[in-house]
Amino acid sequence: MIVLPEEALALTEIHASLRRSETLPALHYRVLHAIHPLVPHDQAVLLEWRRGKARMVAASNIAAPDRKAPQVILLERLATALLGAGLDAQPLDLSSATLPKEVEKLWRELETPPLLWVSLPLPEGGWQGGMFLMRLAAPWSARDLAILALHAEVAAEAWRGWPCRKRPIGPGWRHVAIIVGLLVASLALPVTQSALAPVRIVARQPEVVTAPIDGVIRAVRVQPGLQVQPGTLLFTLDETELRGQHQVAMEEWRVARAEYDQDAQKSVRDPESSARLALLSAKEQLQRIRAEYAKQRLEQVEVTARRAGVVVLDDVDGLIGKPMKTGEKIMEIADPEQVEARILLPVADAIVLTTGGEVTLFLDAAPLDPVQARIRQINYEAEKSPQGHLVFRVVADLPNGATLQLGWSGTAKLHGQRVALAFQLLRRPLTALRQYLGW
């Protein structure tokens, strides 16, 4: 594909601006944004290849990318695999290209819209880095790929040859004082307090299936995630002891009935038998009640579902042979359409939250599609998490139309009240200092 003269002139101006960059962040900014008029795109990410790993250094429309964000970590892993796979230096459309198995696995795990990978090759071999570009409106044309290939070569060379200039010395202490004063004044700026905590998508108002009687679980008839209907057999308890108790109770009832019938026949002629008739009748009724109770317990060894839904269960093999007490939780039957977000906020990161407050969910299954939720319930008494940490349980309602699956997990960003920037920055250090000094 031949680049048009006006496009070649625009590329020459772009590359000249790269070499005039005063700072490295400025060069990164121009590498990403200067090419947009020639090759329109929705989002771009620039990564640096250093010591066998790719590291994100800039992203379009984002001042300071958070390298700890789940989607950023996945992008860095994918870039590392692409640069380490020894692929050709030409731009690569990941949605249609034939990729190595490791790269294909990471690409599928990322679950993003179509991405274009542009490596930044060095003349003597190797890589300076690479770029991810995303465009939803139209597919990439041969013209786009040709322009990006030329831009990548010159950008890599300009990046590698960028000089380490010394910063100019300031004109005097007055300017330093002004800068320090502005920094101190900025600490009073109001910001929204926030905290990060793990989140999990759970069922809302599920049916809790418990053990109806004391016993040992003999078999589990369902698997986690199975769709069940009312009456579906869920699990069975061991019936050996219960069946023996039922047989003994039935035999004692038959003996009591035989004794009662015998004395009832003798009561016509024997006054003593007539006097014992009421006692034997009470004894027969007691044994009948015991037999019926033993029969009811025997019928409860098979537990069935009372509503339709999906089985929520952690470990099937761990339940078999486990002794259970009456009322002890075994599994849940949940409606997959009725879900909520359960957040475990560590006590050390606790902030002031209110019902109805905003929560942003970054789920591992969809890292590029954050979900906005609203706080519905806050537990003000700390509890132990499965990992043994003290946490506050926060429940958030999901927006209508959100299609989230049970069991999805990720990170939640909880938004609190407006506070000064100084408080947001110094809250944790001040708390640690107070605990250390015992204020």
Instruction: Give the containing element (helix H, strand E) for 288.
Output: helix 271-299
pLDDT tens digits along 318-343: 888 889 888 888 888 888 888 899 99
pLDDT at 166: 41
Going by C-alpha positions, the residue among 222, 383, 227, 205 that lies closest to residue 303 is: 222
Tokens of 355: 């019902």
Distance of alpha carbon 145 from alpha carbon 3, whole angstroms: 10
When the pLDDT of each residue in the chain is averaged and rounded to a whole number, the result is 82
pTM of the model: 0.45
Amino acid 95 reads S
| Greatest mean pLDDT range, 251-260, 274-283, 293-302, 363-372 | 363-372
pLDDT at 270: 66
**Cα dist from 90 to 1, 121, 147, 353, 419, whole Å:** 13, 9, 11, 50, 49
Q: From the DSSP assignment, how many helices (H) and strands (E) are in the chain?
A: 9, 20
**Region for 51 from its dihedrals, namely left if φ exceeds 0, alpha if ψ lies in -120 to 50, beta otherwise:** left
Distance of alpha carbon 27 from alpha carbon 17, whole angstroms: 8
Distance of alpha carbon 29 from alpha carbon 438, whole angstroms: 47
Distance of alpha carbon 343 from alpha carbon 341, whole angstroms: 6
Amino acid 327 reads G
Q: Which residue ranges make up each domain of the chain?
A: 5-160, 195-204+338-437, 207-331
By CB atoms closer than 10 A (0-12, 13-18, 19+), residue 121 is buried
State the alpha helices, DSSP H only, in 124-270.
142-160, 173-186, 240-266
Distance of alpha carbon 189 from alpha carbon 321, whole angstroms: 61
Mean pLDDT of 236-257: 83
Distance of alpha carbon 151 from alpha carbon 392, whole angstroms: 51
Cβ contact 172:405 at 8 Å:
no
pLDDT tens digits along 141-179: 888 888 888 888 888 888 887 764 444 444 557 778 888
Q: Residue 399, SS3? A: coil
Q: Residue 188, SS3? A: coil
- Least confident span in 261-270, 316-325, 353-362: 261-270
Distance of alpha carbon 337 from alpha carbon 23, whole angstroms: 52
Residue by residue, DSSP assigns 96-165 as: TS---HHHHHHHHHH--S-EEEEEEE-TTSSEEEEEEEE-SSSPPPHHHHHHHHHHHHHHHHHHHT---P
- Least confident span in 95-99, 181-185, 245-249: 95-99
pLDDT at 412: 94
pLDDT tens digits along 265-289: 766 566 666 667 777 778 888 888 8
In CATH terms, are 5-160 and 195-204+338-437 the same topology? no
Mean pLDDT of 8-27: 80
| Greatest mean pLDDT range, 4-13, 63-72, 119-128, 273-282 | 119-128
pLDDT at 269: 66
Distance of alpha carbon 208 from alpha carbon 37, whole angstroms: 58
Share of the chain above pLDDT 90, in %: 11
Does the structure show a pLDDT above 90 at 247? no
Distance of alpha carbon 398 from alpha carbon 372, whole angstroms: 7
In this structure, what DSSP letter does residue 24 have?
H
Cβ contact 58:76 at 8 Å:
no
pLDDT at 97: 67
Mean pLDDT of 66-78: 81
pLDDT at 32: 83
Going by C-alpha positions, the residue among 150, 104, 152 that lies closest to residue 128 is: 152
Instruction: Choose between 427 and 328: higher pLDDT.
Output: 328
Residues 6+ apart with CB under 8 A from 264: 277
Strand partners, 345: 392
**For residue 433, how far is the Cα from the chain centroid?**
33
Class of domain 195-204+338-437: mainly beta
Share of the chain above pLDDT 70, in %: 91
Does the structure show a pLDDT above 50 at 1? no
pLDDT at 301: 85
pLDDT at 165: 41
pLDDT at 315: 80
Instruction: Give the containing element (helix H, strand E) for 80.
Output: helix 70-84
Does the structure show a pLDDT above 90 at 396? yes
Mean pLDDT of 416-423: 85
The side-by-side arrangement of strands in the sheet containing 227-228 is 207-210, 329-334, 309-312, 227-228
Radius of gyration over every alpha carbon of the chain, rounded to an integer in angstroms:
35
Tokens of 37: 């008029």
Tokens of 417: 């009240």
Distance of alpha carbon 4 from alpha carbon 129, whole angstroms: 27
CATH superfamily ID and name for 5-160: GAF domain (3.30.450.40)
**Cα dist from 234 to 213, 214, 329, 364, whole Å:** 15, 17, 13, 31
Going by C-alpha positions, the residue among 338, 413, 407, 334 that lies closest to residue 373 is: 413
